[in-house]
Amino acid sequence: MKQLIQTAFIFLAFISLTNAQNKPAYQLFNNNGKTADYNKMIKDLAESDMVFFGEYHNNPISHWLQLEMSKSFFNIKGDKLYFGAEMFENGNQLVLNEYLAGFYTEDKMLPEITQLWSNYKTDYKPLVDFAKDNNLRFIATNIPRRYASMFSKKGMNILKELSPEALAMIGPDLETYFDPTVKAYAEMADNMGGHVPPNMLNIQIAQASKDATMAHFSLQNFIPGDFLFHFEGSYHSNYNQGIIWWINKIKPGLNIKSITTVMQSEWDEMNKEDKTEIANYIIVVADNMTQTKG
């Protein structure tokens, strides 16, 4: 009897310890609100033409999963896999290509990259190195920051003033398809409440210039059979807005899917409709997750 009581006590202590240690860093869901299996997710996403990974820029879980998913996609797609990233402006493409080709070492490449993000070494270098090690393309898709700033000040009129060389760095479909009533841009004004600035339209155009340009360079480097894995802030792809909206406008018919990152408290407050529409897969991260250096 005594032995039975001791065994029961040990078992209960084990259960208690297990529960105490059950602090998952993240949970993975599909857009039905159900827990998703990683391998099944990879298989599903790999059947797409393009997958957009919406990250929180300083969230280590986002960056770890980006690299792990890259490895998984490479095992399936091989050299059909290529990368695109908001974190690199398209004016840096030549330098990036030369580095990937092994023309010079990283210490020669880094000073040549303009507007390199401060968390490059911890968060994006592993992805670039993975592309380099496996002879994969890595596309700098974003608009140079200086042009987005010009849109914010002068709106579409800046297109009449820039040189052909500058215009080549801006998505050519911007003026054709820009619509301030689209969810992603309309919400920018809505979120300001009664404090909408007089240049709100220009601010929306500046935001759209980033999305349109990233869509343009994603498509410019795509041929049927390719598989794009693109990294961007979640705002640029949530709810099939941003880059995805522009790609569907420019070249409709592609199979595009997305994954996004949300904090646990955000997930808890989202209604069923939002959970269904925000992305195909959702990474829910603990609120107190350590941040990478930004």
The DSSP symbol for 208 reads H
Structural domains for the chain: 26-285 (3.40.50.11550)
Six token digits for residue 96: 């990036």
What pLDDT was estimated at residue 194? 66
Query: For residue 52, what are the β-bridge partners?
Result: 230, 258
Residues of the chain with pLDDT under 50: 1-20
* pLDDT for the residue numbered 18: 39
CA angle 11, 12, 14 (to 5 degrees): 65
Distance CA 30, CA 258 (A): 11
Read off the pTM: 0.91
Residues 6+ apart with CB under 8 A from 197: 203
At which residue do the structure tokens 């990478």 appear? 292
**For the chain, percent helix, then strand, then coil, each to nearest 5?**
55, 15, 30
DSSP state for residue 151 in the 8-state scheme: H
Residue 8: the pLDDT is 37
Going from the C-alpha of 136 to that of each of 73, 83, 128, 163, 227, the distances in angstroms are: 12, 8, 9, 32, 11
